[in-house]
Structure 1
Amino acid sequence: MKKNSIPILLLLALIAMGCSSDSESDLEEMEEPNGPITSNANIRAIINGNCLGCHSDPPRNNAPFPLTTFEQVKTRADNGSLLRALRKQTGEAGAMPPSGRLPQSTIDLFEQWIEDGTLEE
């Protein structure tokens, strides 16, 4: 092997080790909630920060429905459409939010909230 190829191989190895499809936000651990997961304590802030830009009342940017009230969010959670949209990968048709997939720990929180019965308070 030529001496010139060693630095190139090292550079390629470093580049390959640095490539990953995971974002740091997916790897961050979220604090475990104290007590049951509820809309008011855990879910509402996520909806407000990530969904209401489009899912306001009235909806904007071609969003098909609002998510401004507990009942509106609960309806989408109960019929499965909320989790279907959150689980899709960024760029996939119907993925929400369109700005980029939420961290997996946040999606897990929604799943647990739904499994626990979509409590409001």
Structure 2
Amino acid sequence: MYTKKNFLFGLCCSVFFYGCTSDSLSDLTELDNITEVKYNQNIKSIIDNNCISCHGATPTSGAPNSLHTYELVKDAVLNLDLIDRISRAEGTSGAMPLGGPRLSQSDINKVIQWNTDGLME
């Protein structure tokens, strides 16, 4: 009986100690690779999925400008308040996309970061 207790105690201790590691929470959490945001890699898909239906090569639905090229999107950020328009609350006057759901905060942050990083193609 005494041997069984020692064996079970040893087994439990082994499982406990070997089950623990020296990993920290940061080791267990996948971190985003922070890189520079670029138009072709990060922004074009946001524009294509959310803006091109109205802001295509030939704007429709009353859109005043096209966003179908890097140069036009860059100009919209620099001169047409694109970041302000996509950052407005859904339903607010001038909010984009017009009548659609607001972009995810993650997508808005990418556009802001793209601007901060220098609007690289």
Q: Do the structures match in fold with TM over 0.5? A: yes
CA distance in 1, matches of 2:93, 2:70: 25
Query: TM-score, normalised on structure 1?
Result: 0.70
Find the counterpart in structure 1 of residue 67 from structure 2.
67
Please name the residue that 1:42 is paired with: 42
In the alignment, what sits opposite 1:110?
111
- Larger CA deviation: 53-62 vs 78-87: 78-87
What is the Cα deviation at residue 32 of structure 1? 3.5
- Structure 1 runs of 4+ off > 2 angstroms? 31-35
Determine the C-alpha separation between the residues in 2 that align with 1:32 and 1:92: 32
Structure 1 match to 2:85: 85
Separation (CA, whole Å) in 1 of partners of 2:33 and 2:71: 22
Q: Which runs of 5+ in 2 are unaligned?
A: 1-30
- Looking at structure 1, the residues matched to 106 and 86 of structure 2 have their Cα atoms a distance apart, in angstroms, of 12
The RMSD of aligned alpha carbons is 1.5
Task: Give the TM-score of the pair, scaled to structure 2.
Answer: 0.70
Percent of pairs identical after alignment? 38
Query: How far did 1:35 drift?
Result: 2.7
The amino acid of 2:119's aligned partner reads T
Higher-RCO chain (CA-CA 8 Å, sequence separation at least 6): 1
